[in-house]
Structure 1
Amino acid sequence: MTDVSPRCRHCAAPLELSLVDLGVSAVSNSYVPLDRADAPEPKYPLHVRVCTACWLAQVDADVPPAEIFTADYAYFSSFSESWLAHCRAYCAAMTARLGLGPDSFVIEIASNDGYLLRNFVAAGIPVLGIEPSGSVAAAAEAAGVPTLVEFFGAALARRLRAEGRRPDLVCSANVLAHVPDINDFVAGVALLLEGEAIYTVEFPHLLRLIEEVQFDTIYHEHYSYLSLLAVERIFAAHGLRVFDVEELPTHGGSLRVYACLAGASHEEGPGLDRVRAAEKAARLDSPAGYAGFAARVEAVRRGFRDFLERARASGRSVAAYGAAAKGNTLLNYCGVGPDLIPFCVDRNPAKQNTLLPGSRIPVFAVEKLYAERPDFVVILPWNLKAEIVAQLDDLRRAGTRFVTAVPTIAVTA
């Protein structure tokens, strides 16, 4: 009899532990053009399981990357001021830490619209961006960031190595979770490194996802949900050694991992023991660490729908801010459509005048909020709440209240 059970994308062990099943959902960054409003859109299962051999959490059904990271991919990193500030600080810190200069070379994998590398360009440090989505890569080129429009993996790394393009620093932010073949990706990173060169990677921390019920960060674009425990095992399998880690506030709580070749001389930093201990205390190396999460997710759904239905019953108007992928997971899992949230706004022109995938809520420019002046604005990218509330402070002073749904309903007075 053929074994059809899902297998771990790293170690191929059977995936027998379920974290949460969010049902069938549309692809979160596939915004629907208005002229296709009546056309069906593809939907896929969204079920996260945990490998009890290597402890990698992952979706158990893959959407082909070409259906997600398309030529007209709508996510542009440069629309968040707080994220741009975070990246400026990173570039300054790495330039100082590694002594980068005109003779150095930096590669960023999944460089998007050049949001990060342009800081190195401004400092006269040679760079190369690697970005599979043509729309955002074009924006990077226009900003003076040389960019290859390709998916990254071992084959591209071998080609760059053959061309003599050996970086001092390889970096990536929020990309490791986005690759279906995580082994090919990490093998490619190892091929790029030489001597004391380092790789830094940032990703939302699985520990924060579980503790703070951040289930809306689960969507098809995220193939994996990462802990330090799993990342160290995957990296070691490809000849990389994690030598430091920082805990970051971004995306609801992230890790920045520093890695090098196994034989490099970088000493271990203090963050390693701290994060290892936190994950051990949370029992991420045991099924017990993942128990009960699905029930807590269901409680968020009940709370969010109850808030929206009470607002509608009392005649209070509700809009949404931020056509974020995480917001689409929330809306689709909770079964929310235009009957409960008539419209959403976003600063990104690529998302305006579209419909949110799955929920089909129309997206407008931010000015729509000022025309409608809703009683409540649900902030879908809750990780940017402070930035968004500050941008819309005039609306707040006029009486609009801001709402987040994760981990529980919270209304800003």
Structure 2
Amino acid sequence: MTRCRLCGSAALGSVVDLGATPPCESFLTAEQLDRPEPAYPLHLRVCTDCWLAQIPPLITPEETFKEYAYFSSFSTSWVEHARVFVADAVQRAGLGPDSFVVEVASNDGYLLKHVVDRGIRCLGIEPSVNVGAAARDAGVPTLTEFLSPDTGAAVRAEHGPADLVVANNVYAHIPDVVGFTQGLRALVADDGWVSIEVQHLLTLIEENQYDTIYHEHFQYYTVASAIRALASGGLTLVDVELLPTHGGSIRLWARPTAAAGEPSGRVAEVLDREKAAGLQELSGYAEFSARVAKVRRDLLKFLIEAAERGETVVGYGAPGKGNTLLNHCGIRPDLLAYTVDRNPYKHGRYTPGTRIPILPPERIAEDKPDYVLVLPWNLRAELVEQLSFVHEWGGRLVFPIPELSIVEVAR
């Protein structure tokens, strides 16, 4: 990578280098275990002109998202988050029976099903064939396509302009930031709303959330860099919300520039927080790499000592972020016997790079391990409740991020 993908600057400074890893969602079948497995550099840099943090676009979205292993509906808390969002968005945007809502990267319809339930016309734009099919089976109209300016214009021509365009957890997943943003503008009505949720670089840095750096995430936003990105497509930020999702996210509310008006006071407040944290100067990122290295050392020390005591450690979850952690730490089945996941698509497969078996969740109760390493730490409250049964044999939960934490589950 020699130039920023947003502003074209060559002034890119290193934030953290995680070595080389396979694509985080490329789960292996048993037949693939004896085949070569490609790995790609995972080096996060930040542009010191526009402050967009980014990794090189070594893997195209087409390689990752045509067949996808992540189904949003398997997270109970995420479906509820979507329900609450839809209720709030209906009020903010004044949506009614004659409105039209488009969600980009709509996955399996986890969000738009709440729009359908309200009798509001909607359309999902989802590039993954398998999850898009699941959405249609659930009654959510879905177009299998990547968003581009041409796609946005074609949808607008066929269905009319959207009163609300939703782009949750996708703005980091596209290397062509400018083209994608132009696609959002093509979709939305001249007086409409665009809502984007994306992980906040501020909390990623402050909370050591380095496992959310992976090849599907091409860039990492502050509000300051998001303002620059939105402007590239003719959109203006009018409000921002700080959310707890994914360890700390921002919800960006934008409108076409001519209809935007003055931004809310919350925009200035978050910009001030980012500046105070040093995220608009390279020195503000200096300590992050050292804190990442400590997470790795602490987790490996725990796993090695547990193995030497003859104790069993298994994993819970097989999220993309977990594969960054497992590969960076060099964890193999001798230290983590297996992991489990609620998604049947992953059962019988193996984690990329580390080749750890993925089994159904019921296996934990059968085997009664001493420790359960929770890989989707961002769902901590939900999973502490789901895994409360491990207290029956004295098992404990382990959370690796933001620092190693061993939890006695309440009896």
Give the TM-score category using the shorter length: over 0.9
Three-state SS of the structure 1 residue aligned to 2:59 is coil
Query: Is 1:187 matched with 2:185?
Result: no
Partner of 1:367: 362
- Counterpart of 1:281 in structure 2 is 276
Give identity over the alignment, percent: 48
The 4+ residue runs of structure 1 with deviation greater than 6 A are: none
| In 1: Cα distance, 2:152 partner to 2:179 partner | 10
Say whether residues 1:62 and 2:58 are aligned partners: yes
Counterpart secondary structure, 1:38 = coil
Alignment of 1:2-81 (within 5 A): 6-71=2-67, 73-81=68-76
Gaps of 5+ in 1: none
Q: In the TM superposition, what is the alpha-carbon distance from 1:370 to its structure 2 partner?
A: 1.0
When structure 1 is superposed on structure 2, of 124-133 and 382-391 the one drifting more is 382-391
Give the whole-Å Cα distance in 2 for the aligned partners of 1:61 and 1:257: 24
Aligned to 1:350, the other structure's residue is in SS state: helix
Q: Which residue of 1 aligns with 2:101?
A: 106
Q: CA deviation at 1:164?
A: 4.9
Range with greater deviation from structure 2 (284-293 or 126-135): 284-293
Q: Deviations over 1:55-104 (max 9, x none)?
A: 00000242121221132x11000011111111100000111222212200
Name the TM-score, length of structure 1 as normaliser: 0.97
Instruction: Name the TM-score, length of structure 2 as normaliser.
Output: 0.97
Deviations 1:261-310 (A, max 9, x none): 11104542232121111101112111121112111111111111001001
Any idea what SS the aligned residue of 1:177 has? coil
Superposed counterparts of 1:3-402, under 5 Å = 6-71=2-67, 73-402=68-397
Gaps of 5+ in 2: none
Note if contact 1:46-1:61 (Cα within 8 Å) is conserved in structure 2: no
Contact 2:57 2:175 in 1 (8 A): no
Q: Output the CA distance in 2 between the equivalents of 1:266 and 1:114.
A: 32
Partner letter of residue 63 of structure 2?
Answer: E
2:404 corresponds to which residue? Answer: 409
Distance 1:252 1:164 in 2: 36
Q: Which letter maps to 1:53?
A: D
The whole-number CA distance in structure 1 between the counterparts of 2:159 and 2:116 is 20
Query: Is contact 2:236–2:260 with CA below 8 Å preserved after alignment?
Result: no
Q: How many corresponding residue pairs?
A: 408
Letter in 2 for 1:41: E
In structure 2, how many angstroms separate the alpha carbons of the residues matched to 1:15 and 1:274? 27
Superposition RMSD in Å: 1.1
After superposition, the Cα gap between the structure-2 partners of 1:266 and 1:81, relative to the gap in structure 1 and judged at 3 Å, is: farther
1:320 counterpart SS class? strand
The question of whether the paired residues in 1 share the 8 Å contact of 2:238 and 2:260 is answered with no
> 1:37, 1:15 → 2: CA distance?
40
Matches of 1:388 and 1:31, distance apart in 2: 22
Contact 2:181 2:232 in 1 (8 A): no
